[in-house]
Copies of this chain bind each other. A is one copy, B any other.
Amino acid sequence: MIKNLAKNAQNAKDASRVLATLSTEEKNEALLAIAKGIEKNKAKILSANLIDIKNAKKNNLSHALIDRLTLTPKRIKNICKSLKQLTKLPDPVGRVLSKITRPNKLRIEKVSVPIGVIGIIYESRPNVTVDAASLCLKAGNAVILRGGKESINSNITLSQIMINSLSKTKVPSDSIQMIKSTDRKIVNHLLKMDKYIDLIIPRGGKGLIQFVAKNSTIPVIKHSDGICHTYIDKDADIDIAKAVCFNAKVQRPGVCNAMETLLVHKDIAKDFLPQMIDMFRNAGVEIRGCEKTKKLVSKIKPAKTKDWSTEYLDLILSIKIVSSEEEAINHINTYGSCHSDAIITKTSSSADRFLKEIDSATVYVNSSTRFTDGGEFGLGAEIGISTGKLHARGPMGLEELTTYKYLVFGKGQVRE
């Protein structure tokens, strides 16, 4: 098994060398071939997915989880639509990032190039199989996919269809590899293959991310949890505060950019919190509050220390009343996950301070954290939201799936 894995990784590396030399047209043709292959094999995909759904039900997985791994004709259609849209996006490879001619006439160009081989470790959604592979391919990278065991049948079928679809294109079929074993040991071996793999992107919960960070000798860009905050400053516009907080918590609570903790300045708490909590309760949101919140509004469950660092992904919200903006900032930098945090304020100096001191990928003034998303940011597509600080931070699109190299053009220059 391990020997196979090394061979697969080496094949991916070889394929990446070819991929790096292909034109935009050649890569787009491959993406269209994949879309065609998926459309043609819809029935096969749905029946593989049915096995995953049956197993999930047998194993008593939650309704939300089963929904996430379910493919429908409409969802398959959307996968194909995304593939076609991807062909319309500009090629991230070959951009001249900077250019300089030195006094000795040496001409130096910094140009974007593919990263090489990318390993993606993800959880239950089978559409990620196609999304991730196609984004990597468009950016000229080979990809090694390791999906969750819940959607293993869907993943194997989808990847086999993608690989078969490449056969009549210029993209080597080794550019897409799927790990079929669901044994976690295999991930541990994968994480040591720094000879062949250039980057690991883990997408999932804290457990997965920590396992990967601990065991990988390959650079990692983590896509971890989103413990997102909204801080209501003492002079906030209360209508804006209510609308933004409601949206950030309720519109889609199961995603990483939803609000998990609401921080409220003590001077505005009385005017704002009772109304806000009413709105939340009417929408079915469970409130867990600090001591001060409990004093202000009746029948609030107490928030424990653990709540401040919990990503509920559900209709649950922790609330804390703070004495100052500084306390809010410290709370966020201590318990947050460096994802997305917002301030609601009318004072520009408060906004400036928040923007400067909050150590997160995306910092908002007077708007909902729910906007942290490649599409909403105008990136066209995204492989996920990086919660790391190196190479890519926040929504990670096609450009972030490239690196650069320096090309130096001389006429015999030597160093003095």
A406: B residues at CB distance < 8 A: 361-363, 372, 377, 393-394
Minimal Cβ-Cβ distance residue in B for A194? B213
Q: Are B217 and A213 in touch, CB under 8 angstroms?
A: yes
Smallest CB–CB gap between A117 and chain B, Å? 11
Once the chains are docked, how many angstroms separate the CA of A194 from the CA of B216? Answer: 14
Stretch at the interface among A47-55, A238-246, A260-268: A238-246
Would A367 and B413 be within 8 Å (CB), given that A115-B389, A360-B405, A405-B361 are in contact? yes
A243: B residues at CB distance < 8 A: 412, 414
Q: Are A408 and B364 in touch, CB under 8 angstroms?
A: yes
What 1/0 flags go to A375-403 for Cβ under 8 Å of B?
01110000000001111011000000001
Residue from the list B21, B237, B378 in contact with A102, Cβ < 8 A: B378
Please classify the interface of chain A as helix (H, G, I), strand (E, B), loop, or mixed, using the class held by over half of its residues: mixed
A364: B residues at CB distance < 8 A: 408, 410
Q: Are B407 and A355 in touch, CB under 8 angstroms?
A: yes
Interface size for A (C-beta < 8 A) is 67
A362: B residues at CB distance < 8 A: 405-406, 408
A388: B residues at CB distance < 8 A: 219
In the complex, given contacts A194-B213, A364-B410, what are 17 additional A-B residue pairs having Cβ atoms less than 8 angstroms apart?
A: A21-B356, A106-B376, A214-B217, A243-B414, A244-B413, A251-B414, A362-B405, A362-B406, A362-B408, A366-B410, A366-B412, A368-B410, A368-B414, A370-B414, A377-B406, A393-B403, A394-B406
29 A-B residue pairs with CB within 8 Å: A17-B333, A17-B357, A17-B359, A20-B359, A106-B371, A106-B376, A108-B377, A115-B389, A198-B389, A199-B390, A213-B217, A219-B220, A219-B389, A240-B412, A244-B413, A251-B414, A251-B415, A362-B408, A363-B407, A366-B412, A366-B413, A367-B409, A367-B411, A367-B413, A368-B410, A368-B413, A368-B415, A377-B406, A393-B404
